[in-house]
Structure 1
Amino acid sequence: MTQDAKEVKKAPQKSSRRRAREFAVQGLYQWQLTGDSVAVIERFLRDSSTSFPRADESLFREIFYGAMRDVAQLKTRLVPHLDRDEADVSPVERATLLVAAFELISKPETPYAVIINEAIEIAKTFGGTDGHRFVNGVLDKLALEVRPAEVESVRNKRR
């Protein structure tokens, strides 16, 4: 085996839940740019990606449709934690924040740290150079607001 072959590493497999979150972010991104309906966007995502069948469809539908339904409320919850005008947030970061905010608020059975980590990884994949840092900062503040006991419990365990 050559040195080049040894250096080539296989990318880790994405979980079905990560794929669901990625498709939800892509759907919200598409909605921001096109204004298409959720049904049109879902059909496009299904038809344009061979990896869609490997996503957790139930989770995808729950967070995509839920975030779309609650977009105004989610923005209201996110805006106080932004360090810039909401209009200056990139569409990728905005979509990532909306998906994660929906999960933080509506899916208490999913640990907040998992939601934030997934959002950071998605922002690294699709966003700008330091977009993941911005997403992390905003979601940390939102998590402290909507899940204070859970956040404090995790912080106390780390001490």
Structure 2
Amino acid sequence: MKRRTARETAFQVLFQMDMNDIQPQEAVENVLGEPLENAFLASLINGVLEHKDAIDAKIADHLENWSFDRLASVEKTALRIAVYELLYHTDVPQGVVINEAIEISNLFGDEKSGKFVNGVLSRIIKN
């Protein structure tokens, strides 16, 4: 599985968990139809879940005129994955992380999702 596909799949799993309050294994099986076997995908899902409080705090600290509770699930999920990669997968270039987050936001969100995610991530990497 390519990393782009892994990011999209991680997005779907984490989004489903956020929306339906289900366990990771159930969400993975709903999305993939099989057990999780890809190491990068597993690291994204498990890493976001393990560091969720720190990731959410980082996002909240960089929102301008917006509260974390008001974030739509699409943007919140895309930001969580990207911030996890920025903080804990330092082998991936920041530009790649941001570009992937924008693309995923545009794919699953509306026409403003990518711009919003780009703005938040830009503020995060500047600090």
Task: Report the TM-score when normalising by structure 1.
Answer: 0.74
Q: Structure 2: 5+ residue runs without aligned partners?
A: none
CA–CA separation in structure 2 for the residues paired with 1:107 and 1:127: 25
Structure whose alpha-carbon radius of gyration is higher: 1
Identity of aligned residues (%): 28
Please name the residue that 1:41 is paired with: 27
2:81 pairs, out of 94, 99, 104, with 99
Q: Structure 1: 5+ residue runs without aligned partners?
A: 1-14, 146-159
Runs of 4+ residues deviating >6 angstroms: none
1:68 and 2:54 correspond? no
RMSD of the TM alignment (CA)? 1.7
2:112 pairs, out of 105, 130, 134, with 130
Please name the residue that 1:149 is paired with: none
Please name the residue that 2:17 is paired with: 31
Aligned length: 125
Please name the residue that 2:126 is paired with: 144
Supply the AA of the counterpart residue of 2:54.
Q
1:57 and 2:43 correspond? no
